[in-house]
Amino acid sequence: MTKDLELESLTDKEINSRKCQSLVYFLDFDREKDALQTKRQLLELIIKYCKNIRLLDYCVFNDDINSLMSSLIENIKQNLNYLSINLSNYEDNEYSNIKPILQNLGQTLPSKLEYLSFVLEHQEDVNYVAIVPCIKEYIMKKKRVKYLAIKSTIFSNTKLYCMDLFDLKDEVKEFKLHNIEVLSYIKLFTDITDIYRFSNEID
């Protein structure tokens, strides 16, 4: 194992020499244009050199970055075990725009992940309700994951709601029929964090 890498500080040569080894936990892309360009270049280097990433946690907010992340997932899927995707800052997070992301993800995921989690944020609960059939179509029916969590923050008028797939008991039962265990987002996040810390400790 290896400790998490401060990827922003690594040069092309350093990334190449390290091969990113076996564990990376990173990637929250800044909206500021210059920072975004730097991150894009960095991500292209990671795609080029890093083959052994086991844990990937990233935030995506536009199609350009999402396309690169899809390429990275395709590149590392032989070793990838843990994947967390934050779509809460996606530039237009209407369901019609998020659905293609999930569809593409269903095509690029490894045949079996240990953990998969999503974070969403939107103005109405319609997106949250609509995303569940999409997850079933591209993730559940293909049995692509062992543990799944989805958390959604919903803004409605002046109120803020948090929803968790784990609280929808009928949905949880259906996923279980496909050998997918739905965990609360906090539980799954804690599990992954513990794995990540343990990996660092035994380095």
Residue type at 189 in one-letter notation: F
Residue 107 host element (H or E): helix 95-108
Residue 35 lies in a domain: no
Q: Per the domain annotation, does 166 fall within a domain?
A: yes
pLDDT over 80 at 20, yes or no: no
Which residue range is the domain that position 151 belongs to?
24-29+55-201
Reported pTM = 0.77
Confirm whether 12 is domain-assigned: no
Q: Quick one: pLDDT band at residue 91, thresholds 50, 70, 90?
A: low
DSSP state for residue 28 in the 8-state scheme:
B
Q: Which helix (H) or strand (E) holds 78?
A: none
Q: Tokens at residue 153, please?
A: 């923050």
- CB-CB contact of 143 with 178 (8 Å): yes
φ and ψ at 185, to 5 degrees?
-60, -40
Q: In the predicted model, is pLDDT for residue 5 greater than 50?
A: no
pLDDT at 132: 82
Instruction: Provide mean pLDDT across the span 178-202.
Output: 79
- Estimate the crossing angle of helix 63-76 against helix 33-49, to 10 degrees: 20
pLDDT at 167 over 50: yes
In a domain, 42, yes or no: no
Q: Three-state SS for 150? A: strand
- Look over the chain and give the mean of its residue pLDDT values, rounded to a whole number: 74
Q: Is residue 171 part of a domain?
A: yes
Confidence of residue 32 (pLDDT cuts 50, 70, 90): low
Task: Give the residue among 74, 151, 149, 162 at the shortest CA–CA distance from 117.
Answer: 149
The proportion of the chain whose per-residue pLDDT surpasses 70, expressed as a percent, equals 63
In a domain, 19, yes or no: no
Residues with Cβ < 8 Å from 98, sequence gap 6 or more? 87, 90, 120, 127, 131
What local confidence, expressed as pLDDT, does residue 87 receive?
A: 75
Mean pLDDT, rounded, for 59-76 = 78
Q: Residue 44 domain-assigned? A: no
Instruction: Tally the domains of the chain.
Output: 1
In this prediction, residues 61-86 reach a mean pLDDT of: 82
Cα separation, 98 vs 95, in Å, equals 5
Residue 15 resides in a domain:
no
pLDDT given for residue 8 in this prediction: 46
Cβ(149)–Cβ(184) below 8 Å: yes
- The lowest-confidence range among 12-16, 66-70, 131-135, 163-167 is 12-16
Higher-pLDDT residue of 162, 31: 162
Q: Are 30 and 39 in contact (CB under 8 A)?
A: yes
* pLDDT top residue among 196 and 142: 142
